[in-house]
């Protein structure tokens, strides 16, 4: 497959608005769920040629997956998240207080390493929301009927060409990497770890790639709201498995 030097899923599929969306995980270690539902929402749209447009619920995944996904707000596994989508399905659900979809996110947004109008985040532990198998009042289809399913989920080999081909063909993927102290202060350009201690793992959505000033990068969406980084997005060094960014790529195909 001939892959372009630059690719941005937001431009490739302009009729899929979730591609441009940045969410906020709040004071909860739910990045594993956000990276998954963000990419799944995009893939449902891409797969349907923009006929099905849905914000897949982070709440449903975070609260109902249980042990297969890890520990809810205390961290979890991207692979378990995608498997849950194929086995139990995921309902719709928008941002906090949006009243969009069946189960919108219940944890309020906060400031992630940025000074702004919202309260500062209180770390990423927090109480995992309860698994409520019903839609919020006023949403029409019932919970079971609102489930969207994946037909298959898989990990993508850690070669950049395979990761690129997967994104190019099927839409964004979920990835994970090690966060060091110099990442939260990222603003623009291509992130490369230079200094500071390791803070922990973090899962995100990868939606493209390119080269900036001679440096190859992956284009990623974070779940720390739009006032973090580059309008909520960031670029990270590509091709060297930098901070492990290429070694934990997960994806799947909608039913």
Q: What is the pLDDT of residues 76-116, one digit of tens each?
A: 999 999 999 999 999 999 999 999 999 999 999 999 999 99
pLDDT value for 90 = 99
Q: Is the pLDDT reported for residue 213 higher than 90?
A: yes
The tokens describing 73, both together, are 């707000």
User: Active site includes 64?
Assistant: no
Residue 146 burial (C-beta neighbours within 10 Å; 0-12, 13-18, 19+)? buried
pLDDT value for 161 = 98
Average predicted confidence (pLDDT) for the chain: 98
User: Active site includes 222?
Assistant: yes
- Tell me the angle at which helices 78-87 and 31-47 cross, rounded to the nearest 10 degrees: 50
User: Active site includes 31?
Assistant: yes
The tokens describing 26, both together, are 């709040």
Which residues 6+ apart lie within 8 Å of 254 measured at CB? 40, 43, 44, 47, 48, 148, 149, 150, 151
Q: Is the pLDDT reported for residue 134 higher than 90?
A: yes
User: Catalytic: which of 222, 225, 242, 243?
Assistant: 222
Q: Is the pLDDT reported for residue 31 higher than 90?
A: yes
pLDDT value for 125 = 75
pLDDT value for 1 = 81
User: Catalytic: which of 47, 202, 220, 243?
Assistant: 202
Q: Is the pLDDT reported for residue 6 higher than 90?
A: yes
pLDDT value for 162 = 98
Average pLDDT over residues 232-238: 99
The strand pairing partners of 191, in sequence order, are 236
């Amino acid at each position: 497959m001939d892959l372009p030097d630059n690719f941005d899923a937001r431009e490739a599929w302009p009729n899929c608005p979730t591609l441009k969306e940045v969410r906020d995980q709040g004071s909860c270690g739910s990045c594993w769920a956000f990276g998954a539902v963000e990419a799944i929402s995009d893939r449902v749209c891409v797969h349907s040629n923009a006929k099905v447009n849905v914000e897949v619920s982070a709440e449903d995944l975070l609260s109902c997956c249980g042990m297969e996904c890890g520990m809810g707000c205390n961290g979890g596994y991207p692979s378990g998240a995608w498997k849950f989508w194929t086995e139990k399905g995921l309902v719709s659900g928008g941002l906090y207080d949006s009243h969009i979809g069946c189960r919108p996110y219940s944890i309020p947004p906060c400031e992630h390493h940025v000074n702004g109008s919202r309260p500062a985040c209180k770390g990423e532990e927090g109480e995992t929301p309860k698994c409520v198998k019903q839609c919020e009042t006023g949403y029409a289809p019932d919970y079971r009927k609102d489930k969207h399913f994946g037909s298959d989920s898989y990990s993508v080999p850690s070669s950049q060409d395979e990761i690129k081909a997967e994104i190019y063909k099927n839409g964004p993927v979920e990835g994970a990497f090690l966060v060091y102290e110099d990442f939260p202060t990222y603003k623009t350009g291509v992130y490369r770890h230079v200094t500071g201690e390791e803070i922990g793992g973090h899962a995100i959505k990868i939606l493209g790639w390119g080269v900036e000033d001679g440096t190859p990068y992956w284009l990623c969406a974070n779940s720390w709201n739009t006032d973090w980084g580059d309008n909520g997005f960031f670029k990270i060094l590509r091709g060297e498995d930098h901070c492990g960014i290429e070694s934990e790529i997960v994806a799947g195909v909608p039913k």
